[in-house]
Amino acid sequence: MSDLLFFPMTMPGEMLHSRITRYHFLSGNKTVGETFRDLFGSDVFSIGTLPKRLEVLAARLPGDAEANLEELISTNTTFPLYRPFLGIAQEGNDGATGLSFCRVARVPRREGSVHGKAKLCPSCVQQDLLELGYAYWHRSHHIPGVSVCWRHGDLLMHVCPECTHPFFRKLRLLPSLTEPCACGWSALSPAAAKKGSHLQQKFAEFAHELLQRNIQTMSSEALCSCYLRQCRKRGFIHGRFTGTSKLFDSIQSKYGDESLSEMDKAYGAGKRSQWLRFTSHRGQMDMPLARHLIIALHLFGTVDEFESALRQELILQSISGARSRSNLEKPKVGKKEQCRQKIETILAARTDVSLEYLWRKAYQATRWLNENDNTWLMAKLSGSKPESLKVEDVSDKRDSAFAAILKAKVEDLYLISKEQKRVNLANLQKLLPVRLPPSPSVRKSRFPLTVQQIELHLESVWHFRLRRLICAIADMTRLKLPLNTGGLNLVSTVPNPVFSVLVSFFEWDLDSFSRNGVDPEALLKSTGVLRDWQGPPGFDFLLGGNAYYRRKSSSGPSSNVLS
């Protein structure tokens, strides 16, 4: 029996965030927190591609919980559009059979932050109100890379055209489309719509139609083969290989830099050297959804052709059968034999191999043999190495001068400023006229005094975090910002946990800082920590990162995908 009195029926193509907003207004709840407790049993959280605790809402609706969850995902989210491009998880399904999203390699949380805007088409608002009696937010308008309405060709809006007030605000419900903005502008007011280009509308129509198809999950190998096979058919080849550079040039000439920059953030930022990557990582091709859609539209032209090519690729893979499976499986050779073969290959190619050389060139195999088969390893090294003349390494004549340069200039790197960088090997080498040899052993033998200065002045990660936080606190006090994580996020990218941990560890008086200001260098000196400080005890957690992969150990689908 459902404990939710009602939940509004979905409108055609409505996004989940819009449906939750309608429930809020119809239920008469006063706060957003009440609405989220009704639907999800939790405090307010961001509604992404696949919102967390979606299974709680599905269980509270009438009927079967799994069927409700499947319907919510298929009809109110953009996840069905992602499914063919996400790849299949390499690990097992943990018993989560029957759910269309359970086998994907990764849930795309990062794209929700990159494309986190609420977009509307004024023509859709007016048409929905006339035909259906209610204006709502469409999920097809929120597909990454889409900038025009697939139905009307109007440019999508994400801010008020009069006062630039954003429609989307974090941890807030979407505004009602029938109510005017604070400045008086209304989406219902008749106005001349700005039309997008024909190419933009064609892309939006392709993405919208592909979203409706609900295509099954594809492995990254099948998707890549499908792309490469079509590249060869279209003539994007280079000898016997696929001509990805020709494909990239063709896409550039068709769309243009301006359109591609709007559709793909990496292209707009100038990251184009590896823009086309037909390789996979953890069972997934490392490209965002908008780029997949651009490639699919350019290669196949229509959704029918693309879907047909995917089906054909699955058939070809099923015909190959055992051969495909054998290619994916690793050869069943013992760990000892694998490591020995690796070392023997190196010994066969070189006669002057030392243990230090093996550590550099075959670390994993050398480590395993050193721990589990050391007798064989030592015997191989002693038997393969001929008698050689010992030549004493001569230090570079510039060594003492380089060491003096580091000693004189390293203190400038430790000054607290807005542009400060961590004092590591790369930044220390920038102080020198030339770069040191990349090999640690050669570097140490030719520049012993310089290496000694480098090792003496290297900075730990936690000491660098401390310097960055002190700089941020000084900026906050100077700008009269509150000394909390909210003020921190306005002036710095220091992770919020670092602020809480270090303020508590050093017992800083933030009220005194607000009144009297902060002398950064004096505050750093008062901490009494060394430059190789390893941080507060017990706080060795990871900070930052954009990837959200399936957890290895989990109790069910809701805990490893939607949490």
Arithmetic mean of pLDDT, 417-441? 89
- Which pLDDT does position 283 carry in this prediction? 75
pLDDT for 556 beyond 80: no
Give whole-number Cα distances, 291 to 10, 139, 260, 288, 557, in Å.
30, 19, 9, 6, 28
How is residue 164 annotated by DSSP? Answer: -
In tens, the pLDDT along 474-529 reads 999 999 999 999 999 999 989 988 998 899 888 899 999 999 999 999 999 998 88
Q: Contact at 8 Å (CB) between 149 and 141?
A: yes
State the Cα–Cα distance between residues 176 and 25, nearest whole angstrom. 9
Per the rule left: phi > 0, alpha: psi between -120 and 50, beta: everything else, 130 is alpha
**What single string gives the DSSP state of each residue in 89-149?**
-SS--TT-TT-TTTTBSB---HHHHHT----B-HHHHHHHHHHHS----BGGGGSTT--B-
Q: Which residues are within 8 A (CB) of 507 and not within 5 positions of it... i.e. 6 or more apart?
A: none
pLDDT of res. 333: 64
Residue 272 pLDDT grade (very low, low, confident, very high; cuts 50, 70, 90)? confident
467, 416 Cβ separation under 8 angstroms: yes
114: pLDDT strictly greater than 90: no
DSSP state of 163: T
Distance CA 152, CA 138 (A): 13
Most confident range, picked from 5-9, 91-95, 155-159, 412-416: 155-159
Name the least confident of 63-77, 163-177, 387-401. 387-401
- Give the list of residues 6+ apart from residue 97 with CB closer than 8 angstroms, or none: none
Q: Does the pLDDT at position 104 exceed 90?
A: no
- In this predicted structure, what is the pLDDT of residue 111? 65
What's the rounded Cα separation, in Å, for the pair 126 and 122?
Answer: 6
Whether 280 and 224 have beta carbons less than 8 Å apart is answered as yes
For residue 538, is pLDDT > 90? Answer: no
Mean pLDDT of the region 322-345? 69
Average pLDDT over residues 422-451: 89
pLDDT digits (tens, 9 = 90+) for 234-263: 999 887 778 888 999 999 999 999 999 988
> Phi and psi dihedrals of 155, rounded to 5?
-65, 135
- The helix/strand/coil state of 87 is coil
* CA distance linking residue 109 with residue 545, whole number of Å: 12
pLDDT of 546 > 70? The answer is no
Question: Alpha-carbon distance 425 to 431, whole Å?
Answer: 10
Average pLDDT over residues 27-36: 93
Which pLDDT belongs to residue 481?
92
User: How far is it, in rounded angstroms, from Cα 401 to Cα 404?
Assistant: 5
**How much is the average pLDDT of 452-470?**
92
Confidence of residue 442 (pLDDT cuts 50, 70, 90): confident
pLDDT of 348 over the 90 cut: no
The rounded distance, in Å, linking the Cα atoms of 199 and 258 is: 12
Supply the DSSP string of 308-363, one letter for each residue: HHHHHHHHHHHHHTHHHHHHHSPP---HHHHHHHHHHHHHHH-SS--HHHHHHH-H
Confidence label for 161 from pLDDT (cuts 50, 70 and 90)? very high
Q: Report the amino acid identity of residue 366.
A: T
Half-sphere exposure of 7 (CA within 13 A, CB side): 23
Read off the pLDDT of each residue in 371-377 and give the average, rounded to a whole number: 88
Q: How many residues does the chain have?
A: 563
> Which position has the token pair 């001509």?
243
Mean pLDDT of the chain: 84
Please state, in angstroms and rounded to a whole number, the distance separating the CA atoms of residues 279 and 220: 8
What is d(CA 471, CA 480) in angstroms, rounded to the nearest whole number? Answer: 14
Closest CA to 217 of 125, 342, 87: 87
Output the pLDDT for position 108. 66
Q: What is the mean pLDDT of residues 365-383?
A: 87
Q: Which amino acid is at 80?
A: P
Residues 420/424/426/428 CA torsion (nearest 10 deg): 80
What's the pLDDT score for residue 5? 79
| pLDDT beyond 90 at 88 | no
SS (H, E, C) 299-310: HHCCHHHHHHHH
Q: How large is the average pLDDT for residues 58-71?
A: 90
Please check the confidence at residue 557 and state whether its pLDDT lies above 70: no
CA 24, CA 106: separation in Å to the nearest integer?
31
User: How does pLDDT run across 290-304, given as a tens digit for each residue?
Assistant: 999 999 999 999 999
